Amino acid sequence: MLSISNLHVGVDETPILSGIDLEVGPGEVHAIMGPNGSGKSTLAGALAGREGYETTEGSVTYDGEDLLAMAPEERAARGLFLAFQYPVEIPGVSNIYLLKSAVNAVRKHRGEEELDAMDLVSFIRDKMRLTGMDDQLLYRSVNEDFSGGEKKRNEMLQMAVLEPRLAILDETDSGLDIDALRTVADAVNQLRDGNRSFILITHYQRLLDYVVPDQVHVLYDGKIAKSGDANLPKELERTGYAWLTGSGEAEPESAAQEQ
């Protein structure tokens, strides 16, 4: 469903991604790990259509179409979702209003009938159960004065109502306590089905204990330095990333399998 081929992305003439290859099939869960600054968020942003990212080489196809040619809203309408590493605050716009607008914008884009206010609210409330979010957060401004955990749950709620086909979670698990982490994992697991795919960007093995990935990739310096199965994170936990910088420590062997 997603095919990234030799992707090079730069910001302000500075190369950040330098040749990413990644295939994500329907229903697959891929984890992307890697040290800070390795380009994980840049990859996520490039896939979601953030402005200012220059593709200098390579391509991305989504359902066989050129993803990079699409506006961000078109990507959303076609089922691509990004949970932001740093959720954005929108003062003066209530959460419920955002959710309703998003659902209907996407429905409209897909040529589906827009839902009326009543149906929207019950639809959204249904999805809220999945995230364990407090009801009153619906009526507050988007992410304004939300705790870190509430912001992340809110991203999960947006994901749930938009019912994406490919969801990219950028460090949604960072900074969460174990309960909130469980909620994120549950949200993913409940949405997981034979067709819906996930890219989980994470620093920690914790999340991957709950959401078992099909493949794990280590991103370093704008490239995928290693790929493996669900055992790779455990190895990384042990070895750290020092082997990437060539400082002599052993590279994780047991789980590694070259693609």
Partner 1 sequence: MAETTEPVSHYQQLYHDAESTLPGAGIDWVAERRRAAMARFAALGFPGARNEEWKYTSLRPIEKRDFALPKRAGHGLGAPDLAPYLFDEPATHRLVFVDGAFDADLSRIGQLPEGVTVQPLSTALEAGMESLAGHLGRYADPEGTPFVALNTALMSDGVFLHVPAGSTLEWPVHLLFVASEAIDGIGVHYRNVFVAGEGARITAIESFLGLGEATYWTNAVTEASAAQGAEIEVYKLQEEAPSAYHLATFEGYQGADSSVTHHNISLDGRLVRNDVNTALDAEGAYVSLNGLYLGDVRQHVDNHTRIEHLQPGCVSRELYKGILDGRSRGVFNGKVVVQPQAQQTDSDQQNRNLLLSRGAEVDPKPELEIFADDVSATHGATVGQLDEDALFFLRSRGLSQHQARNLLIFGFANEIIEAVKIEPIRARLEDRLVQRLPQSETEED
Ligand X SMILES: Nc1ncnc2c1ncn2[C@@H]1O[C@H](COP(=O)(O)OP(=O)(O)O)[C@@H](O)[C@H]1O
Assess 11 for contact with ligand X (CB under 6 A): yes
CA distances from residue 168 to 28, 164, 196, 249 in whole angstroms, order as listed: 12, 10, 11, 31
Assess 41 for contact with ligand X (CB under 6 A): yes
CB of 7 to partner 1, least distance (A): 19
Assess 120 for contact with ligand X (CB under 6 A): no
Span of 15-23, 27-35, 47-55, 227-235 interacting with partner 1 by CB under 8 A: 47-55
Span of 5-13, 33-41, 46-54, 205-213 interacting with partner 1 by CB under 8 A: 46-54
Selection from partner 1, ligand X, Mg ion, none that 38 binds (CB < 5 to 8 A by kind) is ligand X
Contact 138, 124 (CB under 8 A): yes
Structure tokens at 226: 């290693």
Contact 112, 123 (CB under 8 A): no
- Among positions 59-88, residues that touch partner 1 (CB under 8 A) are 71-73, 75-77, 81-82, 84, 87-88
Pick the binder of ligand X from 30, 38, 138, 216 (CB under 6 A): 38
Which of 163, 214 has the CB closer to partner 1?
Answer: 163
* Dist. CA 48–CA 50, nearest whole Å: 6
- Residues near ligand X (CB under 6 A) are 11-12, 16, 34, 36-42, 52
